[in-house]
Amino acid sequence: MSEQAKLNVTVFGDGQLARMMQPAAAELDIHLRILASRSDSSAAQVIPDAIIGDYHDYATLRGAAKGSDAVTFEHEHVPNEYLRALIAAGFNVQPQPAALINAQDKLIMRQRLQELGAPIPAFQAINSAEEAAHFWAQTGGHVCLKARRDGYDGKGVWFPGSEAELVALTTQLLKKDTPLMAEKKVALTRELSILVARRPSGETKEWPITQSVQRNGICAEAMAPAPDLSPQLEKRARDLGVEIAQSLGVTGVLAVELFAFTGENGVEDIAVNELAMRPHNTGHWTQDGSVTSQFEQHLRAVLDLPLGATEETAAITVMANVLGAPEDPQMPMRERVREVMERYPAVKIHLYGKAHRPGRKIGHVNLCGTDVQATREQAQAAAHFLVHAQWPDTV
């Protein structure tokens, strides 16, 4: 079949998220093109139609988008004004820039969620050290300082231990022209997320609520459905995710990161942390634990195709990230993979083709099971061996 007879999707970005769209695209006979930063990037290794270029250059974006039925993203960093220009030029950009700006700028996101009446922490734009000091006093010192743009995996987020530290940090960052905001720190009990897919015609599908475990600001583990979640809170989180997707006009996959905390009545409650309008780390479990993966669903949604079923296919699915060790083990990764396959044949391994770097996401494993603790232990052990080339003593 010629490319002209196929549906064509261009993805701006070349990391593991774009890489993991390729199997779903192949199964649906969708031609995938990426705008890549280099020819050996994670996605470029498996997607033949890779245009090498800079997403900060409008002409490059337009060239990559040519002939596509839909243009989408695997990150939020493409300049919003360029996306608006692409739409003006007749390209089908999904999600559209009016929605995406809420994932690109944390202050705009907070202001819009406040308008919607969504549960959020107290927040304030920070344009001076004096404003930072005032917010410190307002919150009793419970302050999280954030860069409004470009933060991920714990980057662009600071937790100052004193007012003096906050003032010094704010002064330093403002001198570097870093747009800032501050939020009241939430005494969270765990972190949850709700993933929702929405197509331009308005149909939505949401997956079960996911619980994630963060280490050093990076997602280390996710499990779904979230254990010990009350039916009332599950419904509230699902309804909140759908409301945000519909109100903002999101298309594709929307991840709503949630703080869980103990409310006034001693009952678990939630507040919105951040939004991502693309496949998300806390949704990787859907590759092996859901009827439809987030990667297939994202492609369906941006092309305005009927959405797939999102029910879980196991009592519990655990995803454990494979993060680069402080030192890369001498054992080659292919041998580590063999060892994990031998010991845990039910574990599904997903590697990203990335070179080792300490703390870098180089892959993940998924494991479906019936017992939460046993499934977590085995998934963690498999990920640990892929990282360190040795088994943890406890498993």
> Which residues are part of a known binding site for ATP?
106, 146, 183-186, 191, 273-274
- The pLDDT of residue 1 is 46
CB 192 within 8 Å of CB 210: yes
CB 21 within 8 Å of CB 32: yes
> Which residues are part of a known binding site?
106, 146, 183-186, 191, 273-274
pLDDT in tens, the chain (395 residues): 455 689 999 999 999 999 999 999 999 999 999 999 999 999 999 999 999 999 999 999 999 999 999 999 999 999 999 999 999 999 999 999 999 999 999 999 999 999 999 999 999 999 999 999 999 999 999 999 999 998 666 678 999 999 999 999 999 999 999 999 999 999 999 999 999 999 999 999 999 999 999 888 889 999 999 999 999 999 999 999 999 999 999 999 999 999 999 988 899 999 999 999 999 999 999 999 999 999 999 999 999 999 999 999 999 999 999 999 999 999 999 999 999 999 999 999 999 999 999 999 999 999 999 999 999 999 999 999 999 999 997 54
Alpha carbon 140 to its chain centroid, in Å, reads: 31
Distance between CA atoms of residues 63 and 192, nearest Å: 39
Q: Are β-strands 316-323 and 252-262 bridged in parallel, bridged antiparallel, or unpaired?
A: unpaired
Given 3-state DSSP classes, what are the helix, strand and coil percentages for the chain, each rounded to the nearest 5? 35, 25, 40
pLDDT digits (tens, 9 = 90+) for 124-153: 999 999 999 999 999 999 999 999 998 666
- Which tokens hold the place of 188? 């969270």
- The pLDDT of residue 155 is 79
- The pLDDT of residue 154 is 63
- The pLDDT of residue 152 is 67
- The pLDDT of residue 217 is 81
Distance between CA atoms of residues 209 and 241, nearest Å: 10
- Domains, the chain: 3-93 (3.40.50.20), 122-184 (3.30.1490.20), 188-388 (3.30.470.20)
Q: 333: closest CA among 388, 267, 286?
A: 388
